[in-house]
Amino acid sequence: MLNSAHSPLLIDLYQLTMAHAYVELGMEDTAVFELFVRNLPATRGFLVAAGLEQAIEYLEQLHFGSAELDFLASLGTFSSALLARLENLRFTGSVHALPEGTPFFAQEPILRITAPILEAQLVESRIINIMHFQTLIASKAARCTLAAAGRQLVDFGMRRAHEADAALYAARAAYLAGFDATATVEAGRQFGVPISGTMAHSFIEAHERELDAFRGFVAAHPAGTTLLIDTYDTERAARRVAELAGELEPLGQRRAIRAVRIDSGDLAQQCRSVRAILDQHGLRDIRIVVSGGLDEHAVKALVEGGVPVDAFGVGTALDVSADAPALDMAYKLQAYAGEPRRKRSAGKATWPGIKQVFRERGASGEILSDQVALVSEASPGEPLLVPVMAEGRRLAPPPALAESRDYCARELRALPAQVLELGSGPTVYPVQFSAALQALAAQLDAQLR
Amino acid sequence: MLNSAHSPLLIDLYQLTMAHAYVELGMEDTAVFELFVRNLPATRGFLVAAGLEQAIEYLEQLHFGSAELDFLASLGTFSSALLARLENLRFTGSVHALPEGTPFFAQEPILRITAPILEAQLVESRIINIMHFQTLIASKAARCTLAAAGRQLVDFGMRRAHEADAALYAARAAYLAGFDATATVEAGRQFGVPISGTMAHSFIEAHERELDAFRGFVAAHPAGTTLLIDTYDTERAARRVAELAGELEPLGQRRAIRAVRIDSGDLAQQCRSVRAILDQHGLRDIRIVVSGGLDEHAVKALVEGGVPVDAFGVGTALDVSADAPALDMAYKLQAYAGEPRRKRSAGKATWPGIKQVFRERGASGEILSDQVALVSEASPGEPLLVPVMAEGRRLAPPPALAESRDYCARELRALPAQVLELGSGPTVYPVQFSAALQALAAQLDAQLR
């Protein structure tokens, strides 16, 4: 098992066949590629840009080692000129991008790469692969954050995330978009995301009696823990928690029971009855955590129903973005050798030229609308794409993840209220395309190729 | 960016809080956990087991290094006894599993781990994470394979797979389940999956004229290549391909144009008109490859419509299993210290005890039905779970992936025809649960905990 995340061979083969052709044909001019989402999923009113930090790391470290060059040579299809070029290849271009945590919409460039065409083309698949996944998850997580209305959210999705990297970066992207913690320990180590964990049903089942399991777990965790109460009968388990609290009270250890977790069944009904049982026993400070198949709609229903829940564990629905497991994200050539370019394939035509997104705000900073325009145009509003790399080097140290998280929260609050509704659709937010951009597209269409 | 795939910290925190409690409470007995899918997605008639090889690799190499132990110590919540235990931890248990490529159904154990409870519990999240993803993708890929009815299938999904590992293992799982190739170069290197690639629209757009792009690409790839013909106008591009073929014919280079690819629009209509144009010019041997938003249903429609297509590139729908991006896969304690165990949570009750799947076959090897029974029962049929690890060591070298691929193809062909229909549902195939298993479940339910 090699570390595929760093492999320069984690690309589509056509990037190498094109690189081969660029070398053979002497095509060395500068290309400008932009990354954008063609259309939002039907169930998204906005997306949240994420993954930029990992994209920059990828570009910074990109190189072909001898093992990779040997493998390519063994295929027998690539010229020694290409292999020599790859041996010395480093990313030497510049990158402009939306800061992580920025809300964005269909057809808006979120990252732009300007580099010799061989380099800019070679990184296509992996740049999409990195940015697509974290953007997908941050966008889903932001919806959960809105639904939770301030209650605590924890990422529980590692087991059904799509392999190792997805688990790790889902935790990062969810935290960026407002989650409070993750169960994934490695995300705590690599990104400083707060980690949170309780117990599994198997711990209960490994004991002859549920109360013994509770007693043993609390004894092992005197500083405080959460007890899982739905293994056999949730209400009976809640009474056992109260019984245990009664045992611990005279020892001054009652506070070791911080919370209970319910993971199945009718969560609203069980939370109400468990809350009542705990309250009857004077255990008002024991919190209730729920999990088990939750998504933003279930979270919203519990919150709006006034159900006594303190925290939500959201798993699979978050980590695979279950209702929309992919975005229609593309990375397209917009200019080559100084000339604007346009793809005209049916249903996939692109806005040509080098572009910028200008965001208009009201007096209190509230977000009103966007205009996508040529970068050369004078356009009102704040330009969203900012320079992050030049000549292959990062322009500034990465912002702290917690800082990007605060920025994301502020920007989400600034969006129009109807865009933030869970039922909001892809076209609620107003995005305009400048007259000059429309004229350029028409002009390119009129040219025969 | 560390290699998270190998990190022992790629687990849910609760596995460590439980491990801590097991150490504190001196719980050292043997646990038996089984991995299974509770219910199949509504759009699946069967699933295909995959990922075992990576699961074994994970268990073989599992250990905590000093960096991981230091991180855990820094959390301040774990005892030095736990840290000492983790420092020396290796997986010492045994594993039984379905061979990769075996079709299976709901509630059937596909992997069983027998080990000291701390070890068996610790690996829960990552074992699910590994087995879930490849099983998910192999199951989706098998449907595409059935739909393609012998035409060529290539995995194009890397860019929208969920980060690096997902891209790599999707290529592996798709190949196992019948795909012919992948575009992902790294999967060629790591798993020997045949790799395949053509050109992107950007290559065409980087030229002033489409014909120049075709001419240049063929010149750079005289051994044979595929030309992408939908950048501007597909039929006009097909005529340009014919024009180029005419230029190359007297030079003896005409065979360099092996195929054309169409990636957008009405694929059936375009394939027919492109085929006609090529045939009119005597270019019957130039193959047609289609791609662009394909799934098994689109593949089936093209095949059954008699559309002249030679190969399909399937991308996003495959690599994220778009219609069912997660399986309800769980890893549950079935026995501890020699006693069967059962979870009874609402909607999530498990079949207790150590189990085996017995598959009944007809005279010609055709698969008839399965029975899930206690491993101790005498049951007719072939036992599907076979030993793969004992005392922490692999029992045999891994089978070649191509061998598992052949096995998968044979087993799929042996399934009842109605199970193989794309519209087949989760309950079409007959799975029985033995009388002894039902009696054990009832007996455990009757015991109070």
B449 pLDDT band, cuts 50/70/90, is: low
What is the residue-averaged pLDDT of chain B? Answer: 96
B203/A21 Cβ within 8 A:
yes
A341/B206 Cβ within 8 A:
yes
CB contact residues (below 8 A), chain A span 350-389, against chain B? none
Does position A1 have pLDDT exceeding 50, yes or no? no
Shortest CA distance from B352: residue in chain A: A205
User: With b meaning 16 or more CB within 10 Å and e meaning fewer, what string describes B251-264?
Assistant: eeebebbbbbbbbb
Does position A393 have pLDDT exceeding 70, yes or no? yes
From residue A388, give the alpha-carbon distance in Å to each of A58, A392, B9.
13, 10, 31
Considering CB atoms only, which of B161, B219, B332 is closest to A129?
B161
- How many C-beta neighbours within 10 Å does residue A366 have? 13
Tell whether A403 is within 8 A of chain B (Cβ).
no
Q: What percent of chain A has pLDDT over 90?
A: 94
Tell whether B284 is within 8 A of chain A (Cβ).
no
CATH of domain A198-290: 3.20.20.70
A449 pLDDT band, cuts 50/70/90, is: low
Q: What is the DSSP letter of B232?
A: S
How close A253 comes to chain B (CA, Å)? 17
Contacts of B270-275 with C-beta under 8 Å, sequence gap 24+, read B270/B230, B270/B234, B270/B235, B271/B302, B271/B307, B271/B308, B271/B309, B272/B307, B272/B308, B273/B234, B273/B235, B273/B238, B274/B229, B274/B234, B274/B235, B274/B238, B275/B308
CB contact residues (below 8 A), chain A span 411-440, against chain B? none
pLDDT digits (tens, 9 = 90+) for B85-94: 999 999 999 9
What is the residue-averaged pLDDT of chain A? Answer: 96
To the question of domain B148-319 being in CATH 3.20.20.70, the answer is yes
Looking at beta carbons, which residues of chain B come within 8 Å of A52? none
pLDDT at B249: 95
pLDDT at A448: 61
What is the token pair recorded at B339? Answer: 């006693």
Shortest CA distance from B327: residue in chain A: A160
Sign of the four-CA dihedral B66, B68, B69, B75: positive
Does position B224 have pLDDT exceeding 90, yes or no? yes
The bridge status of strand B382-383 relative to strand B386-390 is: unpaired
Does position A405 have pLDDT exceeding 60, yes or no? yes
A17/B163 Cβ within 8 A:
no
Region B236-253: mean pLDDT is 96
Considering CB atoms only, which of B2, B156, B265 is closest to A345?
B265
Does position B438 have pLDDT exceeding 90, yes or no? yes
Shortest CA distance from B343: residue in chain A: A231
CA–CA dist A101, A139 (Å, integer): 9
Quote ipTM for the complex: 0.97
pLDDT at A4: 73
A11/B333 Cβ within 8 A:
no
CB contact residues (below 8 A), chain A span 181-240, against chain B? 183-186, 188-190, 195-203, 205-206, 208-210, 216-217, 219-221, 223, 225, 230-233
From residue B331, give the alpha-carbon distance in Å to each of A125, B21, B77, B126.
34, 20, 26, 11
A216/B21 Cβ within 8 A:
yes
Q: What percent of chain B has pLDDT over 70?
A: 99
What is the token pair recorded at A374? Answer: 């040529």
B199/A18 Cβ within 8 A:
yes
Does position B1 have pLDDT exceeding 50, yes or no? no
Considering CB atoms only, which of B10, B322, B347 is closest to A325?
B322
Does position A138 have pLDDT exceeding 80, yes or no? yes
Does position A281 have pLDDT exceeding 70, yes or no? yes
How close B259 comes to chain A (CA, Å)? 14
pLDDT at A6: 82
B4/A164 Cβ within 8 A:
yes
How close B289 comes to chain A (CA, Å)? 14
Q: Higher confidence at residue A3 or residue A27? A: A27
Tell whether B158 is within 8 A of chain A (Cβ).
yes
How close A362 comes to chain B (CA, Å)? 36
Which of B43, B78, B47, B50 lies closest to B64, judged by CA? B78
pLDDT at A230: 96
Looking at beta carbons, which residues of chain B come within 8 Å of A235? none
Region A117-146: mean pLDDT is 98
Domain B25-56+93-137+331-446 class, CATH top level:
alpha beta
Does position B108 have pLDDT exceeding 60, yes or no? yes
From residue B177, give the alpha-carbon distance in Å to each of A126, B145, B241, B414.
25, 7, 34, 14
Among the residue ranges A338-352, A426-440, B181-195, the one predicted with the least confidence is A338-352
B223/A10 Cβ within 8 A:
no
Q: Higher confidence at residue A344 or residue A48? A: A48
At B246, is the secondary structure helix, strand, or coil? Answer: helix
Counting every residue, how long is chain A?
Answer: 449
pLDDT digits (tens, 9 = 90+) for B146-197: 999 999 999 999 999 999 999 999 999 999 999 999 999 999 999 999 999 9
What is the token pair recorded at B57? Answer: 């690799």
Region B98-126: mean pLDDT is 98
CATH value of A4-137+324-446 in 3.20.140.10, 3.40.50.300, 1.10.150.120, 1.10.3210.10: 3.20.140.10
B347/A12 Cβ within 8 A:
no
A234 pLDDT band, cuts 50/70/90, is: very high
Looking at beta carbons, which residues of chain A come within 8 Å of B200? 14-15, 18, 121, 124
A346 pLDDT band, cuts 50/70/90, is: confident
8 Å CB contact between B191 and A321: no
- Chain-centroid distance of CA A57 in Å reads 16
A3/B3 Cβ within 8 A:
yes
How close A149 comes to chain B (CA, Å)? 25
B158/A129 Cβ within 8 A:
yes
Shortest CA distance from B212: residue in chain A: A449
Region A275-286: mean pLDDT is 98
Model pTM? Answer: 0.98
pLDDT digits (tens, 9 = 90+) for B362-401: 999 999 999 999 999 988 899 999 999 999 999 999 999 9
The structural domains of chain B, with segments of one domain joined by +, span 25-56+93-137+331-446, 148-319
The bridge status of strand B111-116 relative to strand A386-390 is: unpaired
8 Å CB contact between B110 and B131: yes
pLDDT digits (tens, 9 = 90+) for A123-136: 999 999 999 999 99
